[in-house]
């Protein structure tokens, strides 16, 4: 069974293919793979694995469970009640796997532009002075 440990928005998560994951609200999704297992072999990054990719698909956004905060001081008629619901992003793990070696490395000379440098004009000493 394939699984990976990823770092996302300051937390680390163990994910499997097809799993639904709820994390704090994200503006940018950029998972970094820390560990990868294909079922028989485990690979650990130092600190991250660049040849393993985890594709995450955004399912939507929702609010988390409500947390109630109560403050109370005895004999002074002081009390406050507040509530809080965290904003969450719901993600689905589409796929986990190694990046193809052919796609990873471009052949030499493809996509490279040659830029001509302008000729230097020498500013020598002016004769006759």
Checking if the pLDDT of 111 tops 60, the result is no
Mean pLDDT of the chain: 84
- State how far the Cα of 92 lies from the Cα of 53, in Å rounded to an integer: 14
Checking if the pLDDT of 26 tops 50, the result is yes
- Cα 34–chain centre separation: 11
- State how far the Cα of 6 lies from the Cα of 14, in Å rounded to an integer: 7
Q: Residue 39: which pLDDT band, with cuts at 50, 70 and 90?
A: confident
- Does an H or E element contain 102, and which? helix 101-104
pLDDT tens digits for range 66-105: 999 999 999 999 999 999 999 999 999 999 988 874 444 4
Stated pTM of the model: 0.66
Q: Is 30 helix (H, G, I), strand (E, B) or coil?
A: coil
Checking if the pLDDT of 126 tops 80, the result is no
Question: Quick one: what percent of the chain has pLDDT higher than 90?
Answer: 63
Q: What does the pLDDT read at residue 106?
A: 45
Secondary structure letter of residue 101 according to DSSP: H
């Amino acid at each position: 069974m394939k699984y990976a440990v990823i770092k996302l928005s300051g937390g680390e998560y163990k994910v499997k293919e097809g799993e639904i994951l709820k994390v704090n609200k994200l503006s940018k999704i950029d998972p970094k793979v820390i560990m990868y297992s294909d079922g028989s072999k485990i690979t650990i990054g130092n600190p991250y694995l660049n040849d393993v990719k985890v594709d995450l698909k955004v399912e939507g956004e929702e609010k988390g469970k409500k947390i109630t905060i109560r403050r109370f001081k005895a004999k002074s008629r002081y009390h406050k009640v507040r509530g809080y619901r965290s904003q969450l992003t719901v993600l689905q793990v589409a796929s986990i796997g190694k990046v193809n070696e052919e796609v990873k490395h471009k052949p030499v000379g493809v996509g490279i532009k040659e830029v001509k440098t302008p000729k230097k004009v020498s500013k020598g000493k002016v004769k006759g002075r």
